Every structure is written in structure tokens, then in C-alpha cells.
Amino acid sequence: MYELIQITDRSYYIQGPARIGLVKLDGDNVCLIDSGNDKDAGRKIRKLLEDNHWKLTAIYNTHSNADHIGGNRYLQNQTGCSIYAPGIECAFTRNPILEPAFLYGGYPCKDLQHKFLMAQESNALELTKDCLPQGFSFIPLPGHFFDMAGFRTPDDVVYLADCLSSKETLDKYQISFIYDIAAYLDTLEKVKEMDACMFVPAHAEATKDIAPLARYNIDKVLEIAEKITRLCQEPLPFEIILQKLFTDYGLNMSFEQYVLVGSTVRSYLAWLKDTGRLEAFFEDNQLLWRTVRC
């Protein structure tokens, strides 16, 4: 774990729970794309930098999920590096309580205030094109989270963050976290058509051909949408829909899974309603969801 994998003369990734990009700039300077899931990850990254006599100048966060920004604070304190995050992700990075609060939909109980869902705060600045090293570009990848972005390096390596999951992960967990279903599908369609020297997703193997995995992720989203539509042939409240999905997919409920999968299912319900496949109505002071009959 935390092995450094070289892709090109300048571009690398660090093998961790979520792959971390590392790109050589000028001289001994390097930048990171994300920083790992916690302070311990930060320590391991720092040792790797020291072993190679590299100086960390900046961390470019793809988005603000805790497993991508968890090493920010430690590395910033140790190296003085700058940190950049796109759009709303910058506010979440500066105020990590926002992630569990958003997922839960209210003040999060202590069961949700841990490093998996809430990183330590770090002094991030909003990512703009002017912040990027020469030859870099960032790629908007909304859907998984609010303003998630990927990066293309001068040597044509594309870091894709969490815009898709590995086939093994999808087969095991079925429902991956998605904030905006429509944006997520649009992003996957865009990624499916991309060309690059190498693609580095955070939670799948690096590959030169990303199209098959993008297609698999699209199909999984459509499968789950169809399952929800079938479940709602008769009016159901959200909690029962969630329970049935957990049961059908063999998932185990916990506080973490309740907020992560629950938030995702609410996003599916909103998307299916907005696209005319579900209707929502109130009965006996309860919100019910029902398939629209043609």
C-alpha cells in the first residue's frame, strides 16, 4: 500500500485506498492530485516525497470526500504547500462538517463524525485555471459530488477521481454514491469518448481504454433506476424503498451505509420524478413514491 507507480516520465500515482496522483513539475517540485484518507496517509506520502528528494508545492483536490482530502492538513502543515479545490468542494474542504451534515440531512450524530466521512479542515483555495501548473487542465466531472473535477497532465495522463467505480466494486456493493444522477450519466458519456495516454480512476485500475468501464457504470445506474421503478408499482415511503434495496442487493445497514446509500437513493428518486417515471404525493402526512403508469 502507498506504492509509487510510474506512468510516464512525469506522471505517477500512489496506490492507496483511493489512488493519489503525483506529477513532477520543474526541478524537484511536485504536486499531488488528492492526499489520501487521513493523517497516516499524509505521513506515508511525506516519507515517499522525502525518499525521492521531492518538494511538494501544491495539492489539487478533485473533490471534498474525506478519503480524498484526509491528508491535506498534515501535508500542508509539514510542507507549507498550497491546496486547491473546485467550486463548492472548496467550502466542504475548509468546513468538513458539511459532508456528514449533507449526507444525513441535519446535524450529524457522533456515529457519523469520524475520518471516513469527515476529514480535518484544511486551508483550501478555490481552484481556477490560473492555479494550475503550466500545461495542466481540469475537467469538470460532476455527478458523484457537487463540483468534482479531474485533471489532464501535459503528458496526457487523465486523473478521473470518483466518476466511475471498478467492476468488482459495483458487483460487490451495487449502489455507489451519486449526488446527481443526470450529471453523473452525462459525465460518464463524456468520459466514455475520451482519449488519453492513460486514465487513472481513484477506485479502479489505471487503463488506456476507459470506455468499457464507463459503459459498465452507466448500465449499473440504469439497472438500479429500473429496480426502483419496479419497487414503486405500489406507493412506498422512502424508508421502505431503502430497506427493499438493501435486502434485494444483500447489503448490511449501518449508520454510514444508511447515509451514503440513502442519500444516493434520494437522488435516484428525484431524478426519476423529474424525468416523469415516478410521482410523489402526500398521504396521511407521509411522502409516498409511485411509478407513473402510461
DSSP character string of 172-200: HH-----S-HHHHHHHHHHHHT---SEEE
Q: Is the pLDDT of residue 294 over 80?
A: no
Which 3 state secondary structure label does DSSP give 105?
coil
Is 74 within 8 Å of 43 (Cβ atoms)? yes
**Mean pLDDT over residues 118-131, rounded?**
96
| pLDDT tier for residue 31 given thresholds of 50, 70 and 90 | very high
Other Cβ atoms less than 10 A from the Cβ of 139: the count is 19
**Confidence (pLDDT) at 1:** 81
The predicted-structure confidence for 162-202, as pLDDT tens digits, reads as follows 999 999 999 999 999 999 999 999 999 999 999 999 999 99
What pLDDT score was predicted for residue 7? 98
Report the CATH number at residue 275. Answer: 1.10.10
In a domain, residue 82? The reply is yes
Mean pLDDT calculated for residue range 139-154: 98
Whether 202 maps to a domain, the answer reads no
| Mean pLDDT to the nearest integer, 13-36 | 97
- Could you give the CA distance from residue 220 to residue 205 in angstroms, rounded to a whole number? 18
Q: Are 197 and 205 in contact (CB under 8 A)?
A: no
In a domain, 261, yes or no: yes
Q: Which domain holds residue 34?
A: 3-162
Section 105-126 average pLDDT: 97
Rounded to two decimals, the pTM is 0.96
Looking at residue 56, its pLDDT comes to 98
Residue 144 lies in a domain: yes
* Count: domains in the chain: 2
- For residue 133, pLDDT beyond 80: yes
